[in-house]
């Protein structure tokens, strides 16, 4: 694998992690949201990932010359969780139904914070991989100068 391909793979990871961080932030911010524009409580957002062979150009795809083991990751979609909301008895809440229950999103803020830390570490790993590839490219250029 060449340096450019490794940087493209790391770049795809950075983009996917950015999208995941946005979904996690939205989940934390809306952990207590009982009413949305769609109706009902907020639904947890989950990022769906996909991988495909890292290719430099359309010609590489047609010719199939790239190693199949080099994979780039992509955030293919952001979906809403199908976990049911949590009912809490709060008859004085303006969002309560006739029985006095308010439905809250099934979001565990501690789980979201753990996912945020994991995503941050993954982002840092991709940045370090890009910096290493950049350093190797710079050293290769220095060799060419001498």
Chain CA centroid to CA 109, Å: 17
On whether the CB atoms of residues 140 and 79 are closer than 8 A, the answer is no
pTM of the model: 0.80
Return the higher-pLDDT residue of 3 and 131: 131
Residue identified by tokens 């991709």 is: 126
31-76 pLDDT, tens digit per residue, is: 999 999 888 899 999 999 888 766 556 566 555 555 555 678 888 8
Structure tokens that stand for 23 in this block: 């979904």
94-131 pLDDT, tens digit per residue, is: 999 999 999 999 999 999 999 999 999 999 999 999 99
pLDDT at 74: 83
Q: What average pLDDT does the segment 86-101 reach? A: 94
3-state SS assignment for residue 109: helix
pLDDT at 29: 96
Q: What average pLDDT does the segment 13-23 reach? A: 94
Give the model's confidence band at 141: pLDDT under 50 very low, under 70 low, under 90 confident, else very high: confident
89 vs 35, 44, 102, CA distance in Å? 16, 21, 6
pLDDT at 76: 86
């Amino acid at each position: 694998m060449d340096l450019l391909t490794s940087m493209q793979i790391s770049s795809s990871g950075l983009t996917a992690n950015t999208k995941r961080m946005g979904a996690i932030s939205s989940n934390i911010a809306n952990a207590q949201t009982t009413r949305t524009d769609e109706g009902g409580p907020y639904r947890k957002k989950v990022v769906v990932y996909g991988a495909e062979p890292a290719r430099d150009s359309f010609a590489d795809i047609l010719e199939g010359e790239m190693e199949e083991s080099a994979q780039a990751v992509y955030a293919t979609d952001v979906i809403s969780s199908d976990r049911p909301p949590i009912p809490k008895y709060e008859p004085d809440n303006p969002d309560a139904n006739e029985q006095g229950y308010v439905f809250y999103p099934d979001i565990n803020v501690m789980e979201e914070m753990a996912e945020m830390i994991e995503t941050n570490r993954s982002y840092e790993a991709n940045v370090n991989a890009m910096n290493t590839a950049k350093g190797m490219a710079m050293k290769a250029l220095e060799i060419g100068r001498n």
